[in-house]
Amino acid sequence: MKFIRVHMSEKTVVTETVPDAYRGIGGRALTSSYINDHVPADCDPLGADNVLVFAPGYFSGTPLINTSRLSVGAKSPLTGGIKESNVGGTVAASLASLGITAVVVEGMAAAGQCRVLEIDEAGNARLLDASDCQGMRTYALVEKLKAAHGENNSITCIGPAGEMQLAAASIQTTDLDGRPCRAAGRGGLGAVMGSKGLKAIIVRRSGKLADPLDDPDAFKAAAREYAKAVKADEFSGEILPALGSAALVAPINEAGAFPTRNAREGQFEGADRISGETMARIIRERGGKNAHKGCAGCIIDCSNEYVDPDGRFVTSSLEYETIWSMGGMIGNDDLDAIARLDHLCDDIGLDTISTGVAVAVAMDAGYRSFGDARAAIEMVEEVAAGSAFGRILGNGPAAVGRHFNHTRVPVMKGQSMAAYDPRAIQGMAVTYATSPMGGDHTAGWVVDQNLESFGGTLDRFSADGQVAASRDTQIHMAAVDSVGICDFAQSGLASPEGIANVYRMVAAKSGNPFTEQSWRELGLRVLRAERDFNRRAGFTPADDHLPRMFYEEPLPPHNKVVVISDAAMEKTFDF
């Protein structure tokens, strides 16, 4: 129950008791409340007034499975609004095991300064000079930091893109194998970390100082039930370990909702060559790893290690969103190239979604040809080289669109959509348009409610019920992101008994009653804070609209457009 407060201008580190206003919350609830309370909404996101907050989910460090989720929050240089981006790996568990509720990074180093923050096994933190790490890519950086500080650390860091303060820069963090392959990718939070002159946070793993549970037995009983449900579910218990999130390629493409060649089409003719089934077979044949464990406390094992034909490591973990952004979205059906691009982004410290979409926009503008994977690799390498074009690309798809005066740019609030075309899954139109996060799938993933094959009951081409579905899911996800349960472990809370276990665990940790009503209030608290910040940052209802291309260009093969009006979108947050 402590904050580590780091001031980069003054080079001070202070440990303090968690202020009352932030007790009993974690993850996104903590980061979004804190940012809304303390960051001037009109500040420069890359200036000294912005604050970068790292907060494990409320359940991190407890016996519940799949809760090593770290929320990172700040004002986003990509959207100009508030941002929370969360990530797995081991860092959330490590921080929570040291009783650290949040690391709050304030101020701004003088230009050219480069520091790391080290947190030891007693939970003490200190800032160290890291001039010798300046400009390093993340994989080499992590090796160097492990050599100096020991293997038994979680390392959360930025690459050259973050140091250059590019708006699509990610924050990378290490998985169970100590590779910086997990990304808090969205919103350019790596640029905020770069602006603060903070290259990495090194946290000793396996601390013994976790916050106590009020009723450990009750917690563990509910946690056991929860884990059982996750194991019993077909998607989290069988499909994800077998194929990873790439399992989605086939059904989303089949649904005509797989944005292809900068969302000119909804089906990619090369989908079979980049599907989860193909990926798992290639990995198996080459001696890589499927059903790999990437995050602390995980029982799903959706991760993988993708290897080249000689069995050498290429990347981990190859995920659905990246296979889309570096595959269908740029017309590329070469899975080896996708894996290479995924690794490059992790190594340079770039969001794979924004970067792939930025490449797609450049190709759509005629800068290179769709399907030219070598050109894509060269373009991403340019980001690391810091060339004029590289910096534009590293600032994301909206910057690329501005550069080429190209208007087919599938972004909302400056951030690209993800791998579900809203014209074929109307519910995603609402989430993309209205989420305070900008274009984002995890903020309100209503794909399952829209697709019959996923058990959905909504007509995916109709507006009926979509605003309500997105609203409820956004409220729910704001709460999920606050307790810090992995998205893929949501099978554990899908049933009334499952979600009741979550309420029981919150109560068993805090000692206070927690009900269905409390859950909704938690989600609403988060969204209200985020909406309040964005309004003060200058957002208006017009910022909750989709780009016109989704209304004007029918998407093959179904040839539908978005049918939810701007006025209907604006009702999403009438609560």
Interface residue list for a second copy (CB under 8 A)? 41-42, 44, 46-47, 164-165, 191, 195, 387-389, 391-392, 395, 399, 402-403, 405, 407, 536-540, 542-543, 545, 548
In whole angstroms, how close is the CB of 81 to a second copy at the nearest point?
Answer: 13
Q: How far is the CB of 272 from a second copy (least distance, A)?
A: 34
Q: Which positions ≥6 away from 50 have C-beta within 8 Å?
A: 39, 43, 44, 74, 75, 192, 195
Q: Which residues of 125-152 are buried (b: 16+ CB within 10 A; e: fewer)?
A: bebeebeebeebbbbebbeebbeebeee
In the complex, least distance from residue 300 CB atom to a second copy, rounded to whole angstroms: 39
Residue whose token pair is 């056991």: 224
Q: Which is nearer to a second copy, 179 or 545 (CB)?
A: 545
Among the listed residues 226, 194, 139, 196, the one whose alpha carbon sits nearest the alpha carbon of residue 483:
226
Q: Which is nearer to a second copy, 117 or 537 (CB)?
A: 537
Residue 235 or 389 with smaller CB distance to a second copy: 389
Task: Output 134 or 407, the one with its CB closest to a second copy.
Answer: 407
Longest Cα–Cα distance of the chain, Å, equals 61
Whether the Cβ atoms of residue 482 and residue 26 lie closer than 8 Å to each other: yes
Tell me the residue type at 409. Answer: V
CB of 22 to a second copy, least distance (A): 27
User: What is the closest distance, in whole angstroms, from the C-beta atom of residue 145 to a second copy in the complex?
Assistant: 25
Dihedral sign from CA coordinates of 45, 546, 87, 217: positive
Least distance (Å) between residue 156 CB and a second copy? 21
45 in Cβ contact with 74 (< 8 Å)? yes
**Residue 441 in 3-state DSSP?**
coil
Cβ 392 to a second copy shortest distance, Å:
6
Residues in the chain: 575
Shortest Å distance, C-beta 188 to a second copy: 11
Q: Token pair 């410290």 is at which residue?
A: 349
Looking at the DSSP bridge assignments, the partners of residue 87 are: 70
From residue 227, alpha-carbon distances to 233, 345, 485, 497 in Å are: 10, 33, 12, 13
Minimum CB separation from a second copy for residue 12, in Å?
Answer: 22
Ramachandran angles phi, psi of 168, nearest 5°: -110, 15
| Distance from the Cα of residue 258 to its chain's centroid | 19
User: Distances in Å between the alpha carbon of 229 and those of 60, 235, 242, 489?
Assistant: 19, 11, 18, 9
